[in-house]
Amino acid sequence: MNRWIASSQVLLAMTFMLLAQPSFAADAAFTQFVASLWPEAQKAGISRATFEAQTRGLQPDYKLPDLLLPGRPKTGAPSQAEFVQVPADYVKEASIARLASHGQRLSIQHRDTLRAIEQRFGVPGNIILAVWGRETDYGRHALPYDGLRVLATQAFVGRRKDQYRGEFIEALKLIQNGDVTRKNLRTSWGGATGLTQFLPSELHKHGVDFDGDGHINIWTSVPDALASAAQQLANKGWQPGLRWAYEVRAPRNADCTLGVPEVTRPISEWLREGFVPVRGLRLSAAEQAQGASLLQPEGIYGPAFLTTKNYFVIKQYNFSDLYVLFVGHLADRMASGQPFATPWSASTQMRSADVEEMQEYLTRLGLYSSKLDGKAGMQTRAALGAYQKKAGLKVDCWPSAEVLRAMSAGR
């Protein structure tokens, strides 16, 4: 309790100092906040020498997205591509083809490692390579931020302060253990690090020293990075031998409001309702017995999928349908080389503010109960479809200017 009282006092002082405007005052409050983390660091096993060395001269980065800065405009929600691009832009054919080609070469180069990883964790090598490809372009994308600076700033004025306090402490442990140097601890704006993009706490839970050198090194050791990604998926429920999804053609009368994880049926039932696997794919009796949910990323437009439990396991790596589609499709392309059978439509993505306005309206109607985040995910698309039914509009489960106008007229 005393820690939380002290923490509250520090944050209150920080607020007044930030409102005072001069940058030196804000930096002084930040320095005081970082110093207040020492008891937690000490309890976690961090030495005083490590704490002092790594926090000396540490400065905040107020240009990061998703911060809450008193007296300043909101920095706004992060503009991650997964949430602001239409599928055709995110799962871009040229990108998929390039990454698949490189991934095929890497699958040969790391054949023995990938085989050993699959034997131990049950996750296919092409899935792990696809995660690596999506996260850092197989290590060719240099992460731009100083990791400790990002984590400390997010703990100070981010929207998830308590979470990032822990992430900052875990990052100090990584440095103290010799797993990574401060120089090499580069991250995304959200603090994810390494070839396969882990938050420090996730690395603590799922990291693997696969090359046996005594350190979990996901920054320069490909075996450690790939095995850690595999163990994370395995720990979150990956089922060996199960595909992530099946592309299907939906019947004309398909109800797009059923495209939510809560509606799970044996694949055989979906097939009886008229969903047809593309390219004449024949599913075994065991495959047809598997449960699956309907996914239509563009509503009734573009490709449709029957997603298995493994789809939602990948989604725990990054909570975005487009991310899972990218990783799953890239993995498939390394094996088959074929694009989606149904092309993406030319749909446009509405502004996040407009989608959030729709979510607020749908919430008032009792059709939506998830986060107001301005993202057209599964729950939002299904709720839009339910509203379209109610309002007598075309049911396509996709946010559009027409739907927004109808909502505005109905207020």
Average pLDDT of the chain is: 91
pLDDT range class, residue 74, cuts 50, 70, 90: low
Minimum mean pLDDT among 70-74, 279-283, 284-288, 315-319: which range? 70-74
Q: Where are the domains of the chain?
A: 2-76+144-193, 352-409
Across 264-287, average pLDDT: 97
Q: Residue 69's pLDDT is what?
A: 84
**338 has pLDDT over 50:** yes
Q: Which of 231, 192, 189, 239 is nearest to 210 (CA)?
A: 231
pTM value? 0.89
Length of the chain: 411
Helix (H, G, I), strand (E, B) or coil at 231: helix
Quote the tokens at residue 190. Answer: 């959200």
User: Dihedrals φ, ψ of 159, to 5°?
Assistant: -80, -15
pLDDT of residue 209: 98
Instruction: Quote the strand ranges of 69-215, DSSP E.
Output: 145-146, 186-187
Q: pLDDT confidence of 346, banded at 50, 70, 90?
A: low
Choose between 336 and 182: higher pLDDT. Answer: 182
The reported pLDDT for the residue numbered 373 is 86
Percentage of residues in the chain having pLDDT higher than 70? 90
pLDDT, one tens digit per residue, over 142-195 is 999 999 999 999 999 998 999 999 999 999 999 999 999 999 999 999 999 999
List the single range of 18-32, 88-102, 305-319 with lowest mean pLDDT: 18-32
78-87, 343-352, 398-407: which is most confident: 398-407
Sort 43 into a burial class: Cβ within 10 Å, 0-12 / 13-18 / 19+: exposed
